[in-house]
Chains A and B, each alone.
Chain A
Amino acid sequence: MKILKLSIVVLAAFLAACGGKKENAEEAFLKSLDSTKQEGPSISEEVIGDILQQIPAPLEISVLLKESGQKYNASLLNTTDNTSRYNSNFKKALNLGIYGTDLGYTNIYEQNQDGVKYMSSIKELADGLNIGQFFDIETIGRLATNSKNLDSLLLITTQNFNSINHYLQTQSRANLSVLLLTGGWVEALHVVCNVAQANPSKKELQETIGEQKVILENIMLLLSFYKDSDPNMASLLADMEGLKKEYDKVNITYTYKESTFEIVDGVMVIKDNSTTTIDITPDDIKNIATSIKNIRNKIIS
């Protein structure tokens, strides 16, 4: 009998160590906290995850702006004074994305004092969504005090946002991940539209705005999965329809040509012989800028 009891104890200890029960309890708790979670999307979360991971980081646009010689302009960003306005999970997730893009922009321009303010707002919104554990604000604050730490700062903030997106998807909260990425993209497009309008001779900025047509299609697809279960996401999708009408005038032509390569220091360096041409007029830029400004104003107000 003793041996039977011992066997049961060993087996129970082993199963407990696997931690499955604890994870389920945590999952149930988080689900109960998430008021934006409705009936769920009309498609599997795996498909949503696949589309979400395609969306490029807004950081790429911030780097483009700096590399093209544009000066830092804090007035283009969403002020951190607005943080307390965002009370619903819908607004928190969207503005978490917006502040994430703003943080990336301040980091790229090494505007550390502004960066710390954005970090604080991000932490506040993330805590409100029960994902604050992914931000190590002390480490980020320490890295932000020295411009030599730029690479580490960019790395840790990118990793934090990647971890959040992964976590939300594993917790069946991909709707928040969609909003977070949408907010981040809206802010990046708003910034680049403003800079492009002030610098009409910069063709690469105009092309960058045109290229966002590809991302807009993905974002609209993601929002459409929730339009029947979440009125807020349906309303955001309707706003994006207006932006799409402006983007319908933009043409992207892709020409495929086989690539070539050479090996340099153990790295395969590809020569891309394919091209895309982007047809976008100053009027298109103006209309896209107006449309994205209206969408952003709704989000940040």
Chain B
Amino acid sequence: MKKLFLFTLLLVFAGSFSVIGQCDSEALSNQCIPKLASGFTFLKSYKIDGAGGTKDKVEYSYVFTKGTQYMINLCATGANTDGIVVSLYDSNRNKVASSKVNNQFITAIAYPCNATGIYYIQYTFDGSSSYCGGSALGFKR
């Protein structure tokens, strides 16, 4: 009977730890909003949850408008991007930008759009430890 009680306690603790270990991408995306550069108005926040590495990418899309400048930033646990890379593709899947350049992870992309259309905002993981992050999109004219 004692074994049953201990097993129940173990089950509860294991459950608790798995909750603690979950990716709180919503909190991280909220952290990103005030980090948009001055003059940018907030549009959307994006959750980046790579499900512990089982997902290789997280993708969103948005219609960008010619004449508008957009900013996409990245937040992860710790100061840097924890290996999270944001890439921007146009509607024909041509790559417009990637935040990893020369093995350097950049935390924000500013994109002065010159061609209206649907764009894909893709988050990938390159040596990430948590596979968890957040991002915010803002605009200015």
Known: A56-B62, A59-B41, A60-B68. A272 touches B115 (CB 8 A): yes
Binds B, one of A116-124, A128-136, A255-263: A255-263
Q: Contact check: which of A64, A67, A155, A259 meets B96 at CB < 8 Å? A: A259
Known: A6-B5, A158-B43, A256-B92. A273 touches B114 (CB 8 A): yes
Q: Contact check: which of B61, B92, B106 meets A50 at CB < 8 Å? A: B61
Q: How far is the CA of A271 from the CA of B69 in the complex (A)?
A: 11
Known: A10-B8, A67-B141, A268-B109. A56 touches B65 (CB 8 A): yes
Question: Which A residues are CB-close (under 8 A) to B63?
Answer: 54-56, 214-215, 218
A272 engages B43 (CB within 8 Å): no
Q: Contact check: which of B1, B67, B91 meets A3 at CB < 8 Å? A: B1
B139, CB-defined interface residue at 8 Å: yes
B61 engages A274 (CB within 8 Å): no
Shortest CB-to-CB span from A162 to chain B, Å, is 7
B41 engages A207 (CB within 8 Å): no
Which of the listed residues B5, B8, B139 has the most CB atoms from chain A within 10 Å of its own CB? B8
A57, CB-defined interface residue at 8 Å: yes
B110 engages A267 (CB within 8 Å): yes
Q: Find residues 248-301 in chain A having any chain B CB closer than 8 Å to their own CB.
A: 252, 254-256, 258-259, 261, 263-264, 266-276, 278
A149, CB-defined interface residue at 8 Å: no
B68 engages A214 (CB within 8 Å): no
A54 engages B107 (CB within 8 Å): no
A208, CB-defined interface residue at 8 Å: yes
Shortest CB-to-CB span from B26 to chain A, Å, is 10
Q: How far is the CA of A290 from the CA of B14 in the complex (A)?
A: 63
Q: Find residues 39-65 in chain B having any chain A CB closer than 8 Å to their own CB.
A: 41-45, 60-65
Q: Find residues 83-126 in chain B having any chain A CB closer than 8 Å to their own CB.
A: 88, 90-92, 94, 96-97, 99, 101, 106-118
Chain B interface residue count, CB cutoff 8 Å, equals 52
Q: Contact check: which of B94, B110, B141 meets A256 at CB < 8 Å? A: B94
B115 engages A275 (CB within 8 Å): yes
B20, CB-defined interface residue at 8 Å: no
Known: A154-B42, A270-B112, A272-B96. A214 touches B118 (CB 8 A): yes
Q: Contact check: which of B12, B106, B114, B139 meets A274 at CB < 8 Å? A: B114
A7, CB-defined interface residue at 8 Å: yes
| Interface residues, chain A, with chain B CB atoms under 8 Å away | 1, 3-4, 6-7, 10-11, 14, 50, 53-57, 59-60, 63-64, 67, 151, 154-155, 158-159, 162, 204, 207-208, 211, 214-215, 218, 252, 254-256, 258-259, 261, 263-264, 266-276, 278
Known interface pairs A7-B5, A64-B68, A214-B63; 17 further A-B residue pairs with C-beta atoms within 8 A, sorted by A's residue number:
A1-B1, A10-B9, A10-B12, A53-B44, A54-B62, A56-B43, A56-B63, A158-B43, A162-B45, A211-B65, A261-B101, A263-B106, A268-B109, A272-B113, A273-B114, A275-B114, A275-B115
A-B contacts, 10 listed (Cβ < 8 Å): A7-B4, A10-B5, A55-B63, A60-B68, A64-B141, A214-B117, A267-B71, A270-B109, A272-B114, A276-B117
